Amino acid sequence: MALRAYGLNCTLKSGDESSSTQKLLDQLLRALGKHDVETASDRVANFNVKPGVTADEGDGDEWPQLRKRIMEADILVVATPIWMGQPSSICKRVLERLDAVLSEIDDDGRYPTFGKVAVAAVVGNEDGAHHCCAEIYQALTDVGFTIPGASPPYWVGEVMGSTDYQDLERTPKKVAETVRTIASNAAHLAQLLKKSPYPKP
């Protein structure tokens, strides 16, 4: 069965300015593509995503179109830079908006996100990658996503350094290996869940 992956780039940069977060996200989406997964992504900063915890905050809120793409996908990839040891404010807004899923649980206790797989990708010039992944994964499992086994891909540069991930001449071997592994596990898990959905409780 065909699978679809959708990536959200939570960089603070709007427009089409180059982004280390986009580079890592693109690498992960390409790796998923090698498993016959159709991929697409959006830069959240290019959309008017209002604060709130509902599916639609009205008055020009553009979250509904991003949410629709999330719900149409089998695999969600949330990619964020690190700022002050934290996921970006845009990433946190994405997680806040996904809280609306909790009001959509059906009479059988099933979330509309059950059967969907989620992967995090983190990049930055300071410590905090594990902390960021922990925040993202905890929030995503709370709203019904399933997390594949293996470490999420991340790259952290020298503390207080000036080199960005996008400036590296080569992708570090460990990052490349992690990207391949998580892509393989995510595609496999999504395929299993598509063939055999979670049972009713």
Q: Which domain CATH number covers 50?
A: 3.40.50.360
Question: 20 in a domain, yes or no?
Answer: yes
Question: 175 in a domain, yes or no?
Answer: yes
Pair 8, 41: CB distance under 8 Å: yes
Pair 62, 93: CB distance under 8 Å: no
* 36 residue type, one letter: D
Question: 26 in a domain, yes or no?
Answer: yes
Residue 1: its pLDDT value, please? 75
Residue 126: its pLDDT value, please? 80
Residue 27: its pLDDT value, please? 98
Containing H/E element for 76? strand 75-83
Question: 201 in a domain, yes or no?
Answer: no
Residue 149: its pLDDT value, please? 96
Range of the domain at 62: 3-195
Q: What is the pLDDT along the chain (201 residues), one digit of tens a residue?
A: 799 999 999 999 999 999 999 999 999 999 999 999 999 999 999 999 999 999 999 999 999 999 999 999 999 999 999 998 999 999 999 999 999 999 999 998 999 999 999 999 999 988 899 999 999 999 999 999 999 999 999 999 877 778 899 999 999 999 999 999 999 999 999 999 999 999 987
Long-range contacts from 47-55, C-beta under 8 angstroms, 24+ separation: 49/90, 49/93, 49/94, 49/97, 51/93, 51/96, 52/96, 52/97, 53/96, 53/97, 53/99, 53/100, 54/100, 54/103, 55/97, 55/100, 55/104
Question: The pTM is what?
Answer: 0.95
Question: d(Cα 21, Cα 178) in Å, to the nearest integer?
Answer: 16
Residue 127: its pLDDT value, please? 84
Question: d(Cα 23, Cα 165) in Å, to the nearest integer?
Answer: 8
Residue 200: its pLDDT value, please? 84
Question: d(Cα 63, Cα 27) in Å, to the nearest integer?
Answer: 25
Pair 32, 186: CB distance under 8 Å: yes
Question: 119 in a domain, yes or no?
Answer: yes
* Number of folded domains that form the chain: 1
Question: 200 in a domain, yes or no?
Answer: no
Question: d(Cα 56, Cα 156) in Å, to the nearest integer?
Answer: 35
Question: d(Cα 141, Cα 10) in Å, to the nearest integer?
Answer: 19
Residues 6 or more apart whose CB falls under 8 angstroms from that of 87 comprise 10, 80, 122, 132, 135, 136
Question: 121 in a domain, yes or no?
Answer: yes
